[in-house]
Amino acid sequence: MQRFGTLSFGHYGPLGGGRQLTAADSMLQAIELAEGMDELGVNGVYFRVHHFARQQSSPLPLLAAIAARTTRIEVGTGVIDMRYENPLYLAEEAASVDLISGGRIALGVSRGSPETVVRGYEAFGYDGGDDPRGAGLAREHFDLFLRAIDGEGLAQRDPSSPFGGGVGMQRVEPHSPGLRSRVWWGAGTRETAAWAGRVGVNLMSSTLLTEDRGLPFDVLQAEQIDAFRAAWREAGHAGEPRVSVSRSVFPLVTADDHLSFGGRQEEDGVGYIDGFRSTFGKTYAAEPDVLVEQLRHDAAVQSADTLMLTIPSQLGPAFNLRIVEQFARFVAPELGWQPTV
């Protein structure tokens, strides 16, 4: 583990006791937290994306705002649902954020996760056909998105245009060189991880795996990472791809920490998601020295270069910055963390 950051679900709505967290609160607090993390040298801030839900749904404006207020931290998604996306518009937005940030975007995309609505992407104007999960639609959109960010000409130029006409095919603008190296695919199976390796994008290993073979979650996830890297090498891609995993990790340092998270230590879970028997990772909550040993024995954390800490963002930036700061101070250095400088 060389890098770590936070993965926020961006929840907002009623908090209980008559308190309310608005959508504006959620985004403004995310910016504030990112600024504090940037000062600590934390490597990244990433956001889950869910449509038709009280969570982040249009993350690129938020990433642009964070990029404009920070200087070092990576800004990213984990993940954007490609079933909902206009690939060319996403290519324009992603390039814009990448340029604003000076190449600090980490754009995680995938087929998406279970929804609160039925085939919501069709309400956005995209036909998923007979596929009940829309996987084919997501791959089609992703293929066109990659062609766009690679600078391929996708529209016939008009030689009679008064706005700089010409001949041949025109790419979308703006174009950000190197953006493709900052694209990640969120995979929940070994098969999709291997596919991402063949395509030549980075890997965000999901918070759950849609398989259950009686093995611990971290072992299953490490096997997925191995399949991804093997496919990358076999495809002949240059360099080393990046790999991230996410975990719920809470260092227990103060009495308040014990009160908030002392009972949160959990084991791996198994359940059904989208009709598939799936394995979920456990929550880590312990004193820092115990956490270090636990994470050293987590096969996937040791295999990945980036660890994303899932945080309770609805509890506010001060609360979450304390979690992050304690992890950066007491745990991360013992695992090989290298702060952004």
φ/ψ of 177, rounded to 5, equals -60, 135
- At residue 197, the pLDDT reads 98
Q: What share of the chain is helix, strand, coil (3-state, %, to 5)?
A: 40, 20, 35
**What pLDDT was estimated at residue 73?**
98
Cβ–Cβ under 8 Å, residues 85 and 141? yes
Tell me how many degrees the CA angle 169-171-173 measures, rounded to the nearest 5.
Answer: 150
**DSSP helix/strand/coil, 124:** coil
Q: What is the pTM of this model?
A: 0.93
Find the radius of gyration of the CA atoms of the chain: 20
The pLDDT tens digits along the chain (341 residues) read 999 999 998 999 998 888 899 999 999 999 999 999 999 999 999 999 999 999 999 999 999 999 999 999 999 999 999 999 999 999 999 999 999 999 999 999 999 887 889 999 999 999 988 888 899 999 999 999 999 999 999 999 999 998 877 899 999 999 999 999 999 999 988 999 999 999 999 999 987 676 667 788 899 999 999 999 999 999 999 999 999 999 999 999 999 999 888 876 566 544 444 444 444 567 899 999 999 999 999 999 999 999 999 999 999 999 999 999 999 999 999 999 999 98
Report the alpha-carbon distance of residue 228 to residue 337 in Å, rounded. Answer: 23
Question: What's at 97, amino acid-wise?
Answer: V
Q: Tokens 């259950």 sit at which residue?
A: 212
The residue among 2, 58, 3, 6 whose CA lies nearest residue 32 is 6
In 3D space, the residue among 326, 321, 243, 319 whose CA is nearest the CA of residue 289 turns out to be 326
